[in-house]
Structure 1
Amino acid sequence: MFALPIFSQTYITNVTVADVINSQFVTNQTVVITGDQISDIQDAEKIKIPSGAEEIDGAGKYLIPGLTDAHVHFFQSGGLYTRPDVIDLRKFKSYEEEIDDAHEKAASIQRRYLQNGITDVIDVGASYRFLDRKEEMNKLQDGAHVMMTGPLLTTYEPAAYQGLEENSPFSLVMTAEEGREMVQEQLKYNPDFIKIWYIARSGNLGPEASARKFLPIVKAVIDEAHAHGLKVAVHATERITAQLAVENGCDFLVHSVEDEIIDDEFVNLLKTRNVVLCPTLTVHHGYDKTLGQKLNFKLHDFLKADPDDLGSLLDLQHLTDTVLISQYKRYINSPAAMANAEKEQSIGKANLKKLVDADVLIATGTDAGNIGTLHASSYLAELEAMKESGMNNWQILQASTINGAKILDQENEKGSVTTGKKANLVLLNANPITQLGNISDIALVIKNGMVFSPDTLIQNTPSALAQRQLNGYNSRNIEAFLEPYAEDVEIYSYPDKLLFTGKQQMRENYSKMFENTPNLHCELKGRIVQNNIVIDKERVRFGKKYFEAVAIYHIENDKIKKVYFIQ
């Protein structure tokens, strides 16, 4: 990683600037960064660069504003064990351990966001323990800036989260007065906004009757938050809850309406109230693919996600509660469940297109942290889903930059490449409008005027390299499997019998095995890391057979250079 001193002056020369406000490129520009701000933008020929200034050659590259993920949850990892209310696997990993892991990894997750060009994230539902850490988290210079609310104010609290106190992501409110009190309680922690989990679920009442039953609480929370200058986000997936929330002052809807096609009256309501909507199109896919055991990660996921969290999603292949796991797999893959999922996805995409066509403000958000929606790496899939819904690439770029800034009224500070705004920028190697995937082809990331090389933001630890190749192995993805290995890797049978050398020979050997062994799976039974050596104890399923093995990985220059197998 390299970072320029925060008060230095930096010149990005001969670059093509993305004007997200007017949906156009401005070519051959020089962008001047002084301190943490963009201090000047002019034609390259008009700016003389003083001697000693830091110069970045932007020729052939594209400068876009820093991206925003407007819907994340730091208290959730995106891994298999993070939602005990959805699938209870606490006998395999305690929820207390899961919580502690989330806190331990928070800084790394912030860095992963920045590595992916995401300079700002909005946590729309945290615990008091995390909210209390927000100021500390924002001292991290080489990680995404975090905006955060506290626990979700809700009339329904899943049993798995009861009694967690400072670690609970929910605050149960059953009266309007309790709602006002909970807002006041969060004020002590300096939240950036307030969040309501508006669940239309009460006994035998239908969605509308239930929504109206709890409306006085929702209104009380919104009014109390506004009285203290805080905006309010509302989780509302039914049209009636979304409508009632907006009619009563909600500022930010954090999901799509997925139970019915919205009408023009609803669209006009959002537009006239200037409400921002974050569609979160892919989060349900994460659950379905994980619990239905039909994961199909791309190389981008293997490289950019936390390897341990990604690896946990494959654990259903070896966990011993086969009855529970089989029940989930059968249900998720049943014709009825798949038809319902397809219906909800279709409605969500149709509604998004209708809102976009009416110029309702849309902000990109992933709901990262939920099972199967991994932090940082899931952003690209969300963008691709928005495109499938009918948004064009300029609209997607706007949703990911300037519209994200508008959620908390920060559009005058960030969200576009404009003189006087924060120097939160991403220098891309290729045009993101001709090809949306180019948004992940990043040359440099700039946060608060500091310049970072993305490849150096996350350290390739020996453990991470070993886990990445294991993830590729268990996914039978040959490119992901080979990525952590050196080109001249040496494979041994312990102690010193050389089996073969070179990544190309590995490709030939393992490609055949991956193709011919559909139920191939390696369970990691234990790991020891000593300096640059990783020792894994493994139980491998190969066809109908199981065998125990030990693999010893020697790391050199951030690659696996030698492997010794003991069988």
Structure 2
Amino acid sequence: MNVLISDGRITEITSKKITSYDLKINGFGKFLTPGLMDSHAHVSSIPGMGFGVEPVAIKNPKLAQAYFEQQPRSFLFYGVTQILDPNPGVSFDYFTSAPQHPDYFRCEVLTSKNTFPYVEKADDLSRSMFTYLIDESAEATAENSVERLIGKIADSGASCIKLYFEDGYGNANQWATLSTNTLKRIKLAAKKYNLLIVAHANALDMQQLALVAGVDVIAHGMWNWGQYNREQNIPKEISNTLNKMINDEVAYMPTQRVIAGLGEVMDPTIGNSPEFTSITPKPLIDWYKTTEAQWFKEELRAGFDRMPDQSISDAFLYGRIRKGNKVIQYLKSADHPILLASDFPGSPSFANQPGLTTYQEMKAMVTAGLSLEEVLAAATINNAKQFKIENDYGTVEVGKVANLLLLKTNPLDSIESWNRIETIILHGDPIARESLVVNK
């Protein structure tokens, strides 16, 4: 077929010859797909440093600048033409002001001073990331009430609200969560303003709480099974929870790369691959080898009582990921749609890098048992439908935004085809993939 693009949109798809155009891209023998959407990526966060307001980033402003300049190009290199950022932080303007960047959508975080993630922050600068801090006792007319703050989020142009269902890392439970009454008020106000609710929840009890609250999307694999952690198969309580997710049509973001990034950061060779070096500025790669950059690895070592690095890595890569894969397989058996969402970078680990993490998340989906067709849907139309932008994105159709990829090989034959992109087309403008490489 021949595809005609005008003013950044697809205007014609035909088997007939098109004779009037300004530029021709020869796709003979190649494969045209929609651009990919990563519906969970934090563009303010610098792998190995933090959210750009953390002390490590402040001490290294030139490294941070080099990273922010390259980051949108790295996403495009791996075919990501749309991003949803569920916690924009304070530095997302670096991303949106770049000459070339994926189309950017965002949620805004609604939390309180008594709950995660605000309660975990130790300094005023980090706390400044949270603009919408609710007072749970405030009446609807008060400035910091649920209702007023959600109205402000809607007015800001956000696509969704992000809530954190997190009472403690792993099996810990030292933090409070939002009250049942507050969650009911949030649901009612979100519905009034037509805002989706995306829930951070990675443990059985927290995902159960999120489902009761009526969220629209659950982000993260169910990695912590509570008292069932040692079970080999999915126990009844977990399958019942997943059945509620299916019946309530709550979308699911596995974000398996969160766990992989925690395990892989313990590998001293993680930054040596061509995939890594092609999209990561060399000064940053050099910094990752310094003593200063090992701070997060030291935190992991302390958290695991100084276990050998390989044992720490195995705990993530072969323990928690296995649980996440079982959940994906269960949802797949019910034909429940999965969303491509990497949660880049997912932690202060520098093992995850922009764009590359999205591609690795797609590979993880195949490892978990999804077909190549299901991965394609997760990366394109599923995300577009879930976030109500399917009129503009998700398929190659007349009228849609011309965010497209030209691949050298068929992505329905091999997942590696997504690493064989020849041209990225962003709003109708072709970008040669090789032009996005940072270290030539």
> Structure 1, residues 265-322: CA drift from partner, whole Å, max 9, x if none?
3333223333221111021221232246463653211112344444443334886999
Q: Corresponding residue for 2:206?
A: 241
Q: Is the 8 A contact 1:153 1:197 kept in 2?
A: yes
Per the alignment, in what secondary structure is the counterpart of residue 276 of structure 2?
helix
Whether 1:221 aligns to 2:186 is yes
Distance 1:173 1:295, change over 3 A: farther
Q: Corresponding residue for 1:435?
A: 414
Same amino acid, percent of matched pairs: 20
Alignment equivalent of 1:199, drawn from 148, 152, 166: 166
Whether 1:285 aligns to 2:260 is yes
> Structure 1, residues 115-142: CA drift from partner, whole Å, max 9, x if none?
2211001111122x346x4xx8546562
Aligned counterparts, 1:129-528, within 5 A: 129-130=90-91, 133=93, 138=96, 140=98, 142-151=100-109, 153=111, 155-156=115-116, 157-164=118-125, 167-169=128-130, 173=134, 175=136, 177=138, 178-187=145-154, 189-201=156-168, 214-260=179-225, 261=234, 263-291=238-266, 293=268, 295=270, 297-316=272-291, 327=302, 330-331=306-307, 333=309, 335=311, 338-339=314-315, 342-369=318-345, 370=347, 371=349, 372-457=351-436, 460=438, 465=439, 484=440
> Structure 1, residues 336-357: CA drift from partner, whole Å, max 9, x if none?
8844663321110110111122
CA distance in 2, matches of 1:322, 1:239: 27
Q: What 5-or-longer segments of structure 2 have no aligned partner?
A: 139-144, 226-233
CA distance in 1, matches of 2:294, 2:330: 43
Q: Corresponding residue for 1:39?
A: 11
> Structure 1, residues 169-222: CA drift from partner, whole Å, max 9, x if none?
5755562645445434434533221101111249x9969x966x7333333333
Distance 1:327 1:244, change over 3 A: closer
Per the alignment, in what secondary structure is the counterpart of residue 150 of structure 1?
strand
CA distance in 1, matches of 2:127, 2:176: 29
Distance 1:100 1:227, change over 3 A: farther
CA distance in 2, matches of 1:315, 1:205: 32
Given residue 111 of structure 2, which amino acid in structure 1 is its aligned partner? L
CA distance in 1, matches of 2:275, 2:7: 33
Q: What 5-or-longer segments of structure 1 have no aligned partner?
A: 1-28, 466-483, 485-567
Q: Is the 8 A contact 2:339 2:378 kept in 1?
A: yes
Per the alignment, in what secondary structure is the counterpart of residue 278 of structure 2?
helix
Distance 1:365 1:103, change over 3 A: farther
Q: Corresponding residue for 1:117?
A: 79
Q: Is the 8 A contact 1:107 1:143 kept in 2?
A: no
Q: Corresponding residue for 2:31?
A: 62
Q: Is the 8 A contact 2:261 2:352 kept in 1?
A: yes
Q: Is the 8 A contact 1:443 1:454 kept in 2?
A: yes
Q: Is the 8 A contact 2:2 2:18 kept in 1?
A: no
* CA positional deviation for 1:52: 4.9
TM-score of the pair, normalised by structure 2 = 0.82
Q: Is the 8 A contact 2:70 2:280 kept in 1?
A: no
CA distance in 2, matches of 1:391, 1:66: 20
> Structure 1, residues 46-74: CA drift from partner, whole Å, max 9, x if none?
x1221554222211100010001111112
CA distance in 2, matches of 1:67, 1:320: 33
Structure 1 vs Structure 2 CA RMSD: 3.5
Q: How many residues align?
A: 416
CA distance in 2, matches of 1:233, 1:82: 22
Per the alignment, in what secondary structure is the counterpart of residue 265 of structure 2?
helix
Q: Which of 1 and 2 has greater Rg?
A: 1
CA distance in 1, matches of 2:418, 2:300: 37
CA distance in 2, matches of 1:112, 1:170: 28
CA distance in 2, matches of 1:367, 1:292: 20
Distance 1:30 1:215, change over 3 A: same
Distance 1:52 1:225, change over 3 A: closer
* CA positional deviation for 1:333: 3.0
Q: Is the 8 A contact 2:108 2:162 kept in 1?
A: yes
* CA positional deviation for 1:393: 0.9
Distance 1:295 1:328, change over 3 A: farther
Per the alignment, in what secondary structure is the counterpart of residue 343 of structure 2?
coil
Q: Is the 8 A contact 1:66 1:117 kept in 2?
A: yes
> Structure 1, residues 438-478: CA drift from partner, whole Å, max 9, x if none?
112111111112221122245x5xxxx4xxxxxxxxxxxxx
Q: Is the 8 A contact 2:260 2:321 kept in 1?
A: no
Aligned counterparts, 1:46-125, within 5 A: 47-78=16-47, 80-82=48-50, 90=55, 93=56, 95-97=57-59, 105-125=67-87
Per the alignment, in what secondary structure is the counterpart of residue 57 of structure 1?
coil
CA distance in 1, matches of 2:164, 2:85: 14
CA distance in 2, matches of 1:176, 1:305: 46
* CA positional deviation for 1:415: 0.4
CA distance in 2, matches of 1:99, 1:253: 34
* CA positional deviation for 1:389: 0.4
> Structure 1, residues 226-266: CA drift from partner, whole Å, max 9, x if none?
22221111101112322332332211111111123474433
* CA positional deviation for 1:106: 3.7
TM-score of the pair, normalised by structure 1 = 0.65
* CA positional deviation for 1:100: 8.8
More strand by share: 1
Q: Corresponding residue for 2:229?
A: none
Given residue 119 of structure 1, which amino acid in structure 2 is its aligned partner? T
Given residue 164 of structure 1, which amino acid in structure 2 is its aligned partner? L
Q: Corresponding residue for 2:141?
A: none
Q: Is the 8 A contact 2:263 2:316 kept in 1?
A: no
Deviates more, 1:140-149 or 1:321-330: 321-330
